[in-house]
Amino acid sequence: MPPVHSAAELLESFLGLGATHLVGIPDNGSAALFESARTHPRIDLVTVTREGEAFALASGLWIGGGAPVVAIQNTGLLESGDALRGTAVRMGIPLLCLIGYRGHASMDRSGIDPFHRPDSTATLRRPDVDSTALLTEPTLEAWGIPHAVMEPGLEKEMVVAAWNRALDEDRPIALLLAHATA
Amino acid sequence: MLTRDQFLLPLAALRTDEAIVTTMSVVRPWGRLTRRPELDLASADSAMGHAADLALGIALAQPQRKVISLNGDGSMLMTLGTLATIVGSGAENLVLIVVNNGTYEITGNQPLAGAGTLDFAGLAGAAGFPKALSFRDPEAWADAVPSLLRERGPIFVDVTVEPGSEGPIFRTPSEESEYLRVSLFDSARVLQNALHG
């Protein structure tokens, strides 16, 4: 996962929209973003212990008047299904979620369409493909969460569009990070 | 061991503008006692075990207001990591109260793993809570409530309460508790408006 997205620019995009908190757990791809947030004077970083906490905590922040952004890896997305369903989705929380797309490159290399629904245990056992990646977009679709892969060079536009859609539709929106921040 | 009334009545009598998040066996009993339903949120029809972290989010966004989580013991066990998250967040205005009845009451009082031997206050203290208390005596609990509402935290409280017979919780217009008559979507907005009003 070569570093492509500027952590500082992503953070400034969030702050320009009024974000108050970054909530989540870093992965290798988002480590630079977390490090930028940790030392930034205008955003509060809340590190959780499991990804499900991030959605409940962010929902509470929004109820209290905050404007959080959640950042987790797709492995944690799979762990946090009930928390996401029972808080941010069911409460209708406008919430920008950055999801690290671990294994995206392995799907690319194997020629698998990201919208492919793994319909057999054989697919999920393929040694050449990260099964987390196989399940990421189908999981977001099952939870009714609109999502897009962050495109290098279009970060600010995509963040603004996702943030505004989340507000307009009272729902979480996910941007998938197939490349690392730096 | 406290009865449910012995646990909830002192809190209801002294509560003013604190935000309160309930879950599981106290959702309906608290709903019958509260005089500020607009400042209450039931983590019911919601996510398993996530009342405490939801309350933490409210506390972080509302640092001038005391926020109280009335959590279940089974719920607490599902998200013990939240103890570390609370301490790490630096929130000083959160009171996390575990209603310790040793059972999954909503499903018929099946015993919790470790019931009777778990030391919740010990766990909270080890996670770094500056104050972690346990109560089994009604008078001691009633005497402590004023300071819990007044002092800086985060504060962890384990209250041993006798098992009851609360059944599954639904959100329907016919519910006795006001905060269960609306959807979770609407309830979140009622609380949001009250916190900003």
List the single residue in B46, B48, B82 with the smallest CB-CB distance to A53. B82
Q: Does A101 touch chain B (CB under 8 A)?
A: no
What is the reported pTM? 0.97
Percentage of residues of chain B with pLDDT beyond 70: 100
List the single residue in B19, B81, B192 with the smallest CB-CB distance to A50. B81
List the single residue in B60, B84, B184 with the smallest CB-CB distance to A61. B60
Which of these ranges, A40-44, A108-112, B61-65, B134-138, has the smallest mean pLDDT? A108-112
Q: What are the angstrom distances between the C-alpha of A119 and each of A109, A122, A123, A133, A150?
A: 20, 8, 7, 14, 26
- Looking at residues B3-10, what average pLDDT do you find? 97
- Looking at residues B115-130, what average pLDDT do you find? 96
> So what's the pLDDT on residue A123?
80
Q: What is residue B2's DSSP assignment?
A: B
pLDDT, tens only, B159-184 = 999 999 998 999 999 999 999 999 99
* Contact flag B46-A90 (C-beta cutoff 8 Å): yes
Q: What are the angstrom distances between the C-alpha of B45 and each of A23, A113, A137, B134, B197?
A: 23, 35, 25, 29, 26
**Statement: residue A3 has pLDDT above 70:** no
Show which residues on chain B lie within 8 Å of chain A, measured between beta carbons.
19, 21, 41, 45-48, 50, 53-62, 79, 81-82, 84-85, 88-89, 184-185, 188, 191-192, 195-196
* Contact flag B57-A61 (C-beta cutoff 8 Å): yes
Contacts of A58 in chain B (CB under 8 A): 57
> So what's the pLDDT on residue A110?
85
Q: Which are the contacts of A123, defined by CB distance < 8 A and separation ≥ 6?
A: A129, A134
Q: Which are the contacts of A6, defined by CB distance < 8 A and separation ≥ 6?
A: A155, A181, A182
Q: Which are the contacts of A96, defined by CB distance < 8 A and separation ≥ 6?
A: A14, A19, A69, A70, A159, A162, A163, A166, A172, A173, A175
- Are B159 and B135 in contact by the 8 Å Cβ rule? The answer is yes
- Are B100 and B120 in contact by the 8 Å Cβ rule? The answer is yes
Mean pLDDT of chain A: 94
Q: Looking at the complex, report in whole angstroms how far the Cα of residue A50 sits from the nearest Cα belonging to chain B.
A: 7
Instruction: Give the residue among B79, B136, B103 at the shortest CA–CA distance from B24.
Output: B103
Q: What are the angstrom distances between the C-alpha of B168 and each of A16, A91, A127, B7, B70?
A: 44, 20, 44, 21, 17
**Statement: residue A121 has pLDDT above 90:** no
CA atoms within 13 A on the CB side of B119: 7
> So what's the pLDDT on residue A91?
98
Distance CA B32, CA B179 (A): 10
**Statement: residue B63 has pLDDT above 70:** yes
Phi then psi dihedrals of residue A176, to 5 deg: -95, 130
Q: Looking at the complex, report in whole angstroms how far the Cα of residue B72 sits from the nearest Cα belonging to chain A.
A: 16
